[in-house]
Amino acid sequence: TPTYEPFGIVPLEAMACAVPVVAHDVGGHRDSVADRRTGRLVPEGDTPALAAAVRDLLGSDRTRRRYGTAGRERVLTL
């Protein structure tokens, strides 16, 4: 993720496919990703937080499905 992402189209594309998102909490990602609802937002540069968010998703089918479904619903209402 770049330091500043004005719109954040990649998370929206993933969410449209019901794929949960892990992204840095910068720019447009804040507008597209609802933290702990459609994916995870982690502080920029916080590698341990990024790794933990990915591990959490990999460890829970239920959370992945829930975030994926919520993300798709969010994109369809934009």
Each residue of 19-53: pLDDT tens digit? 999 999 998 899 999 999 999 999 999 999 999 99
* pTM (2 d.p.): 0.88
Q: Give the per-residue pLDDT at 1.
A: 46
Q: How confident is the model at residue 72 (pLDDT cuts 50, 70, 90)?
A: very high
Q: Give the per-residue pLDDT at 16.
A: 98
- Residue 18 Rama label (left phi>0; alpha psi -120 to 50; beta): left
User: Is a pLDDT exceeding 70 seen at residue 54?
Assistant: yes
- 9-76: CATH, from 3.40.1080.10, 3.30.1360.120, 3.40.50.2000, 3.30.450.20: 3.40.50.2000
Pairing verdict, β 39-42 and 21-24: parallel
User: Is a pLDDT exceeding 70 seen at residue 2?
Assistant: no
